[in-house]
Amino acid sequence: TQLLEQSPQFLSIQEGENLTVYCNSSSVFSSLQWYRQEPGEGPVLLVTVVTGGEVKKLKRLTFQFGDARKDSSLHITAAQPGDTGLYLCAGGRETYKYIFGTGTRLKVLA
Amino acid sequence: NAGVTQTPKFRILKIGQSMTLQCTQDMNHNYMYWYRQDPGMGLKLIYYSVGAGITDKGEVPNGYNVSRSTTEDFPLRLELAAPSQTSVYFCASSKTRQGREQYFGPGTRLTVT
């Protein structure tokens, strides 16, 4: 069974701090997605990365896909309370299926 | 454009009962998926479909069945509900072949007692 491990599992920080969450696997993925999920709602796609070493920026969020396409990171600069949520990574292979990680639950305190 | 809609939002079942979770999308997406999310866990794929009339098993298909008679609808059937099926169920759809940009519904919270 493919596993996508995310770390840390939980993170509580003050507004304005920076943070990085990680998504690691022993498997190679053709693409990797990051989602944010808020309580009572479905996940919402933030970004898809497809090339090893690729870096994408979305305002204060920076996503990187590892060179070997086995891992990814999400860095948030100057976190805000609105960033609070469950962050999920999902790895895709050459099929229609994605494997989801266990998630990082982030809480940003005002 | 409603996106992906799911009904019901909440449901309590007794052990052994059956029910169908409904999922509809209005984006003309070919690919549709059912996931379950247990507390503190990521999503696990139950079944998926690449088009009307075509379905296939995901990671955790036991105890579930699906059908895809139209592009829009992808119902999930639970037969003989068990406490292990207590979970939040999400339906998703995507347009592209590699399942990128999955759009998720709001979920159905199911409790089996």
Q: What pLDDT, in 10s, does the model give residues B56-75? A: 999 899 999 999 999 999 99
Q: Do A88 and B43 touch (CB under 8 A)?
A: yes
As given in the structure block, the two tokens for residue B17 are 């009962």
For residue A108, what are the contacts with CB-CB under 8 A and spacing of at least 6? A13, A14, A15, A79, A80, A81, A82, A83, A84
| Gap between the Cα atoms of B66 and B58, Å rounded | 11
Q: Residue B33: which of B107, B84, B87 has the closest Cα? A: B107
Looking at the complex, report in whole angstroms how far the Cα of residue A17 sits from the nearest Cα belonging to chain B.
24
As given in the structure block, the two tokens for residue B49 are 């479909």
| Gap between the Cα atoms of A20 and A8, Å rounded | 9
Give the mean model confidence (pLDDT) for residues A48-52. Answer: 90
Q: Do B43 and A48 touch (CB under 8 A)?
A: no
Q: Residue A39: which of A89, A105, A101, A91 has the closest Cα? A: A105
Q: Is the per-residue pLDDT at B107 higher than 90?
A: yes
Q: Is the per-residue pLDDT at B99 higher than 70?
A: no
So what's the pLDDT on residue B69?
A: 96
A100 touches chain B (CB under 8 A): yes
A27 touches chain B (CB under 8 A): no
User: CA distances (Å), A75 to each of A72, A81, A88, A97, B63, in order?
Assistant: 10, 15, 13, 26, 39
pLDDT tens for B73-92 read: 999 999 899 999 999 999 99
Q: Residue A78: which of A65, A64, A59, A63 has the closest Cα? A: A59
Tell me the sheet residues that pair with A85: A106
B21 touches chain A (CB under 8 A): no
pLDDT tens for B36-59 read: 999 877 899 999 998 999 999 998
pLDDT confidence of B1, banded at 50, 70, 90?
low
For chain B, the average pLDDT equals 92
Collect all residues of chain A within an 8 Å Cβ-Cβ radius of residue B104: 42-44
Q: Residue B35: which of A6, A49, A107, A101 has the closest Cα? A: A101
Collect all residues of chain B within an 8 Å Cβ-Cβ radius of residue A32: none
As given in the structure block, the two tokens for residue A99 are 């494997």
pLDDT tens for A1-34 read: 557 999 999 999 999 999 999 999 998 998 899 9
Q: Is the per-residue pLDDT at B15 higher than 70?
A: yes
Q: In degrees to the nearest 10, what's the CA dihedral of A100, A48, A41, B47?
A: -50
